[in-house]
């Protein structure tokens, strides 16, 4: 903390934290109908991605609250015969995984999340996925993703890198969440594609 010229103490807010607050405030204004309508469009857009067309195993997540909806997409992938893996939050913020067997097999978990009730497959199960859907709050023109800051998916991405696998990384967002620039740190990793209600966009290295 440093005093400014007026003698008042100013607190420097990290750029990521400031952007997160701004984006979460915008999401808070969405109605249930807004979220439902967007989810249907997002599912259609994601299913049209070539990265998901031939995928046999997809790691995804269950959207909650005003997050861009994934429920319709999860069911559509499962109907295609895709093996869908969902995260199970561990006490240390790492992620275990379990297979999605339908909405009736989702149970309330900590932090307002929903998790599958099936057998835990271990944190390394994600390396079998040919595509990974990452939760996020924003992405920029270089494909850099802004997450919520918990670090769970940083561990997932590090695990994929360590295993020498390169699944397609996809993020679902609202149209206003594609921004000019996301603050980047050395451990951050770009995604391959973003899907919004306005359409899909691919990023090149």
Cβ neighbours of residue 32 closer than 8 Å, sequence gap 6 or more:
none
* Euclidean distance between CA atoms 165 and 96, whole angstroms: 18
* Average pLDDT along the chain: 91
Q: What is the pLDDT of residue 111?
A: 81
Lowest mean pLDDT among 35-39, 118-122, 123-127, 200-204: 200-204
Q: What is the pLDDT of residue 169?
A: 97
Tokens 């031939």 correspond to what residue? 54
Radius of gyration of the chain (CA): 18
SS in 3 state form for the chain? CEECCCCCEECCCCHHHHHHHHHHHHHHCCCHHHHHHHHHHHHHHHHCCHHHHCCCEEECCCCCCCCCCCHHHHHHHHHCCCEEEEEEECCCCCEEEEECCCHHHEEECHHHCEEECCCCCCHHHHHHCCEEEECCCEEECCCEEECCCCCHHHHHHHHHHHHCCCCEEEEECCHHHEECCCCCCCCCCECCEEEECCEEEECCC
Asked whether the predicted pLDDT for residue 69 surpasses 70, the reply is: yes
* Euclidean distance between CA atoms 77 and 104, whole angstroms: 16
Lowest mean pLDDT among 13-22, 38-47, 64-73, 155-164: 13-22
**193 C-beta neighbours (distance < 10 Å), count:** 22
Q: How far is CA 61 from the centre of its chain?
A: 7
Angstrom distances, CA of residue 107 to CA of 18, 55, 150, 161, 181 = 32, 26, 21, 30, 36
Q: What is the pLDDT of residue 14?
A: 64
Asked whether the predicted pLDDT for residue 9 surpasses 80, the reply is: no
Q: Which domains does the chain have, with CATH numbers?
A: 32-202 (3.40.50.10420)
Asked whether the predicted pLDDT for residue 8 surpasses 50, the reply is: no
Q: What is the pLDDT of residue 48?
A: 95
Q: State the pLDDT confidence band at 11, using cuts at 50, 70 and 90.
A: very low
Q: State the pLDDT confidence band at 16, using cuts at 50, 70 and 90.
A: confident
Per-residue pLDDT tens over the stretch 101-147: 999 999 999 888 999 999 999 999 999 999 999 999 999 999 999 99
Per-residue pLDDT tens over the stretch 81-105: 999 999 999 999 999 999 999 999 9
């Amino acid at each position: 903390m440093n005093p400014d010229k007026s003698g008042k103490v100013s607190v420097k807010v990290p750029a990521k934290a400031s952007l997160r607050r701004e984006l979460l405030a915008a999401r808070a204004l969405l109605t249930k109908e807004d979220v439902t309508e967007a989810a249907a469009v997002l599912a259609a857009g994601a299913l049209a991605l070539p990265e998901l067309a031939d995928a046999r195993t997809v790691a995804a997540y269950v959207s909650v609250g005003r997050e861009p909806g994934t429920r319709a997409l999860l069911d559509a992938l499962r109907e295609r015969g895709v093996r869908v893996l969902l995260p199970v939050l561990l006490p240390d913020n790492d992620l275990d995984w379990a297979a999605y067997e339908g909405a009736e097999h989702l149970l309330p978990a900590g932090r307002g999340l929903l998790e599958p009730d099936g057998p835990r497959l271990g944190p390394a199960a994600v390396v079998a996925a040919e595509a990974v859907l990452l939760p996020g709050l924003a992405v920029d023109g270089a494909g850099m993703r802004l997450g919520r800051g918990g670090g769970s998916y940083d561990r997932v991405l590090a695990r994929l890198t360590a295993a020498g696998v390169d699944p397609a990384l996809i993020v679902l967002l609202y149209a206003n969440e594609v921004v000019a620039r996301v603050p980047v740190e050395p451990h951050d990793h770009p995604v391959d594609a973003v899907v919004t209600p306005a359409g899909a966009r691919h990023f090149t290295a």
